[in-house]
Structure 1
Amino acid sequence: MNISSNSVVALTYELHTTTPEGNQVFVEKANDENPLVFLYGVGMMLPKFEEHLTGLKAGDEYSFELSPSEGYGEIDPAAHVDLPITMFKEAGGELPNVGDVIPLQDNQGNQFRAGVTGVHEEFISVDLNHPMAGKNLIFSGKILNVRQATEDELSHGHAHGIDGHSGH
């Protein structure tokens, strides 16, 4: 079966980015023992990532590069905010440190992460850009399995494992 809408894909991958000097930097991978399994065509993955996989089948290898605009976007210099330090003290935990990635939630309940760029007496400065914003994403890997999604997977909007039986 070839990868198309409403199919469940299991694959391995290695993700690299590049430095300004052009050197590749390893980011993460999924291997045969712990593959990435997803429902294709429902918006779970980057659209250009899926586009590069369209039509492939089990056993096919792939390699491609996504520009920042095809991945997580360019870095937005305005995506920096200062959060009141009382917000962290009221939560009862320790104050974050520069370099920490902290969980946040917007007014609509959407959860996301922000990188701490400064800790000050009155506020914590955070960067709301995705950690991969502004970076080229270099993917390579192999398609392990492609199958038709089950009705449950389609109604739930996500894959239930490589065999369709790993539930909630």
Structure 2
Amino acid sequence: MSETIQDNKFVELSYKVIDQKSGESLIAVEYPIGYVHGMASALDESVTKELEGKKKGDIIEVPIDCNILYGPRDESLVFTDRIENVPEEYREVGTTITMENAKGEPRNFIVTRMDDTTLTVDGNNPLSGRHVIFKLEVLNVRNATEEEIEFGGAIVDEPDVGGAVKVPI
């Protein structure tokens, strides 16, 4: 019998984020994510509540208002400049540029558009202002190890660069 998701279970998932308006897939994970249910998680609480009681093979769809998670879109965070004012290493759509405001606070901007004369960066989270569906598939459910519970998530060995290092996923 398949185990169900509840506190202290290790859960592996794959997921997609789908724009409710267009039906377009905005994000899809290329590898499973794992977490210990009931522990602090990168997943929104509304998602973990929907996962409660599910088992391997179940698929759920959770509508999310990204205005609540990331705030509404702020057009004052979108800048276009002449391309010659931008260093060459940033002249590619999708590149992240970290900039600081007058107070020295960092913010990430993503290059969203580029042509022969201009480049546009956007400091909004790519999901800001959107209504999405978080579609998840439960790939595995098992008892979490004591070490995973203590660590608060999945433990993986990093590539051998002088010894294994444990990192949260």
Q: Given the two structures, how large is their TM-score scaled by the length of structure 2?
A: 0.63
Cα contact 1:115–1:128 (8 A) shared by 2 = no
Tell which deviates more after alignment, 132-141 or 70-79: 70-79
Instruction: Provide the rounded CA distance (Å) in 1 between the counterparts of 2:9 and 2:54.
Output: 11
What are structure 1's unaligned runs of at least 5 residues?
A: 161-165
TM-superposed CA distance for 1:53, in Å, is 1.4
| 1:5-27 residue CA offsets vs partner (Å, 9 max, x unmatched) | 443211233321134xxx31122
Q: Which residue of 2 aligns with 1:29?
A: 28
Instruction: Provide the rounded CA distance (Å) in 2 between the counterparts of 1:17 and 1:51.
Output: 21
Judging changes above 3 Å, is the alpha-carbon distance between structure 1 residues 5 and 74 closer, same or farther for their aligned structure 2 residues?
A: farther
Judging changes above 3 Å, is the alpha-carbon distance between structure 1 residues 100 and 167 closer, same or farther for their aligned structure 2 residues?
A: closer
Q: Which residue of 1 aligns with 2:96?
A: 102
Cα contact 1:71–1:137 (8 A) shared by 2 = no
TM-superposed CA distance for 1:112, in Å, is 4.5
Instruction: Provide the rounded CA distance (Å) in 1 between the counterparts of 2:94 and 2:59.
Output: 36
Question: Residue 114 of structure 1: which of 110, 117, 138 is its match?
Answer: 110
TM-superposed CA distance for 1:126, in Å, is 3.3
Give SS of 1:24's match.
Answer: coil
Cα contact 2:35–2:41 (8 A) shared by 1 = no
Q: Letter of the aligned partner of 2:95 in structure 1?
A: V
Q: Which residue of 1 aligns with 2:40?
A: 42
Judging changes above 3 Å, is the alpha-carbon distance between structure 1 residues 64 and 116 closer, same or farther for their aligned structure 2 residues?
A: closer
TM-superposed CA distance for 1:77, in Å, is 3.4
Structure 2 residue 139 is matched with structure 1 residue 144: yes
Instruction: Provide the rounded CA distance (Å) in 2 between the counterparts of 1:141 and 1:68.
Output: 17
Instruction: Provide the rounded CA distance (Å) in 2 between the counterparts of 1:42 and 1:103.
Output: 29
> How many residue pairs end up in the alignment?
152
Q: Letter of the aligned partner of 1:27 in structure 2?
A: L
Give SS of 1:142's match.
Answer: strand
Instruction: Provide the rounded CA distance (Å) in 1 between the counterparts of 2:107 and 2:149.
Output: 24
Cα contact 2:112–2:120 (8 A) shared by 1 = yes
TM-superposed CA distance for 1:113, in Å, is 5.0
Q: Given the two structures, how large is their TM-score scaled by the length of structure 1?
A: 0.63
Instruction: Provide the rounded CA distance (Å) in 2 between the counterparts of 1:143 and 1:133.
Output: 26
Cα contact 1:7–1:146 (8 A) shared by 2 = yes
Judging changes above 3 Å, is the alpha-carbon distance between structure 1 residues 95 and 145 closer, same or farther for their aligned structure 2 residues?
A: closer
Identity %: 22
Query: Cα RMSD over matched residues?
Result: 3.8
